[in-house]
Chain A
Amino acid sequence: MKYALYPGCVMPTEQYAYEMSIREVMPKLDVELVDLKGFSCCGEPIKSVNQMLTLTLSARNLAIAEKEGLDIFAPCPICHLALSECKRILDADPAMNERVNKFLEDEGLKYSGTSDIVSTIDLIHDKIGIEKIKKLVKKPLKDLKVATHNGCHLIRPSEIGRPDDSENPQKMDKILKAVGANPLDYPEKLDCCGGLLTANLPEAALTKTGQKLKGVQDQGFDAFIDTCPWCHRQYDSKQTKAGETVAAKLDVPVLYLTQILGLSFGISKDKLGLDLNLSPVEKLAVVGGK
């Protein structure tokens, strides 16, 4: 399998652990990642300002991958939704398609709708498959009690073909079961991290984060697993601050799905960027030991 890696903004400018773990884990799963030049923001975070901008930016990125004849792997659920929505609108509406393509002409690009878009979850669960994951496990995460967090954009709105079910997402749980962990449902599973409010209401964003993570901590989970760089920035990078908003001392190890998969495949923690996680990941036996 071969995909153009569409990094987006947050992952390649600060959430390096996600990118590192993806670049380590995917080749092991026989996924070849191709780096292309010229990508820009997907436009979703500025959709509130001007949605036409979002549509054109997304179409532009899709056009870059199309030019190389490659499907797109977008690890960030926000990018994944923006690109999927853009594809859906432009493929259904010839007038909008023409309008957007007119803007792309300046850079010599053309959107024609030939590239598919996958996220971390459907790439691992649907394309690679659970059986292949099982074969690669060297260090099973024996009975590690984990809470999964999909991220809103990954599962909603379901009309725009999302990788997993909007009300009962289980694919990430199945992937984690395959490496020996014990993922359990919890009442806050579908709650939003608030991350997109960071632009104008950062305190409220942190409160959303704190509320969810406090629930996770109170229920005694060993770790919290996510796949979205925006969510991860909230739950991991800003965990201490998020705790202050709900008057709790939060102490939950937060890892990217690709990091925990990498650990179970026996990849060293340095290569997976685990020293970049600011949450207490060293509490986990699989991280602590050499």
Chain B
Amino acid sequence: MSITDLTSMGEPQTEQRKEINERLRRLQDEISDYCYQCAKCTSGCEAHKLLELEPHKIVALLKRGLIDEMINSEIIWTCMSCFKCRERCPQKVAPVEILFALKNLAVASGKQIPGNYTAMLQSVLSIGLLQDVKSITTKDNKTKTRTDLGLPEISKPADPTKFQMMLSKIAVEKV
């Protein structure tokens, strides 16, 4: 038997919860799940005032196994990864890392990736960098390139085909 969330009639996903906990353990052995809901994470959260992210609730929902509720919500995409929650937690819980795990899970289960993430990902896949070299405008409205500024050629993957091949293999991988 498990607890049903009466506001959404959501059922806990025990398997997914195990998967996330397993993943966190694998990445950082000092991270614990002994949260006692002191909400210190939320009091210092950079996304709290502005975007209403409440990291202590994320931890509580994970403990209940209510994963679907979180990966279907846009709230997980409001974290700006300042790492204050992880730094300050007296119990060494790391809400920021839980959020990374949830976002990865959302993407892996085919949910739409918000904003520019798709474009960034595509750019990394095709040229190895988040964006291509830009020419920029100075304050007195002159356009400058790397060459104009005496900077050397940018470093990029030498063999894009091999590089793409490698990345496409990882696309389906989980931590």
- Residues on A lying within 8 angstroms of B by beta carbon are 7, 9-10, 12-14, 16, 19-20, 23, 35-41, 43, 45-53, 55-57, 60, 89, 92-93, 96, 103-104, 106-107, 152-153, 156-159, 166-167, 190-192, 194-202, 204-205, 207-208, 273, 275-278
Among A104, A159, A197, contact of B28 (Cβ-Cβ < 8 Å): A159
Chain B residues numbered 71-109 whose CB sits less than 8 Å from any CB in chain A: 77-78, 80-84, 86-87, 94, 100-101, 103-104, 107-108
What is the distance, in angstroms, from B75's C-beta to the closest C-beta of chain A?
Answer: 11
Contacts of A48 in B (CB 8 A): 77, 100, 103-104, 107, 117
Contacts of B114 in A (CB 8 A): 199-200
Contacts of B83 in A (CB 8 A): 152-153, 156-157
Let me know if B61 is at the binding interface, CB within 8 A: no
Q: Are the C-beta atoms of B146 and A52 separated by less than 8 Å?
A: no
Contacts of A199 in B (CB 8 A): 114-117, 120
Contacts of A157 in B (CB 8 A): 83, 86-87, 94
Q: Are the C-beta atoms of B149 and A20 separated by less than 8 Å?
A: yes
Q: Are the C-beta atoms of B26 and A93 separated by less than 8 Å?
A: yes
Given A16-B146, A46-B120, A48-B77, A38 contacting B158 (CB threshold 8 A) = yes
Q: Which of chain A's residues has its CB closest to B119's CB?
A: A199
Q: Are the C-beta atoms of A107 and B163 separated by less than 8 Å?
A: yes
Let me know if B110 is at the binding interface, CB within 8 A: no
Q: Quick one: which of A92, A159, A202 has the most chain B CB within 10 A?
A: A159
Q: Are the C-beta atoms of A13 and B100 separated by less than 8 Å?
A: no
Contacts of A41 in B (CB 8 A): 124, 128-130
Q: Are the C-beta atoms of B156 and A39 separated by less than 8 Å?
A: yes
What is the distance, in angstroms, from A36's C-beta to the closest C-beta of chain B?
Answer: 6
Q: Please choose the segment from B11-19, B34-42, B136-144 that sits at the chain A interface, where 4 or more of its residues have CB less than 8 A away.
A: B136-144
How many pairs of residues, A versus B, come closer than 8 Å at their CB atoms? 191
12 A-B pairs within 8 Å (CB atoms) are namely A10-B131, A13-B129, A23-B151, A41-B128, A50-B170, A51-B175, A53-B170, A56-B167, A195-B80, A196-B81, A200-B116, A201-B78
Q: Are the C-beta atoms of A107 and B159 separated by less than 8 Å?
A: yes
**Assembly CA distance A128 to B149 (angstroms):** 27
Let me know if B155 is at the binding interface, CB within 8 A: yes
Q: Are the C-beta atoms of B140 and A275 separated by less than 8 Å?
A: yes
Q: Quick one: which of A9, A153, A277 has the most chain B CB within 10 A?
A: A9
Q: Are the C-beta atoms of B116 and A7 separated by less than 8 Å?
A: no
Q: Are the C-beta atoms of A204 and B103 separated by less than 8 Å?
A: no
Contacts of A196 in B (CB 8 A): 80-81
Among A40, A194, A275, contact of B80 (Cβ-Cβ < 8 Å): A194
Q: Are the C-beta atoms of A192 and B80 separated by less than 8 Å?
A: yes
- Residues on B lying within 8 angstroms of A by beta carbon are 26-30, 46-47, 50-51, 77-78, 80-84, 86-87, 94, 100-101, 103-104, 107-108, 113-117, 120-121, 124, 128-134, 136, 138-140, 144, 146, 149-152, 154-159, 162-163, 165-167, 169-171, 173-175
What is the distance, in angstroms, from A52's C-beta to the closest C-beta of chain B?
Answer: 4
Given A40-B156, A41-B130, A48-B77, A106 contacting B136 (CB threshold 8 A) = no
Chief secondary structure at chain B's binding surface: loop
Given A156-B83, A157-B86, A200-B116, A9 contacting B129 (CB threshold 8 A) = yes
Apart from A9-B130, A10-B131, A107-B159, 9 more pairs, CB < 8 Å: A20-B149, A40-B129, A45-B130, A47-B100, A50-B108, A53-B124, A55-B175, A152-B84, A208-B80
Contacts of B81 in A (CB 8 A): 47, 152-153, 196
**Assembly CA distance A38 to B78 (angstroms):** 33
**Assembly CA distance A192 to B162 (angstroms):** 37
What is the distance, in angstroms, from B40's C-beta to the closest C-beta of chain A?
Answer: 13
Q: Are the C-beta atoms of A10 and B130 separated by less than 8 Å?
A: yes
Q: Quick one: which of B138, B169, B173 has the most chain A CB within 10 A?
A: B173
**Assembly CA distance A118 to B56 (angstroms):** 33
What is the distance, in angstroms, from B54's C-beta to the closest C-beta of chain A?
Answer: 16
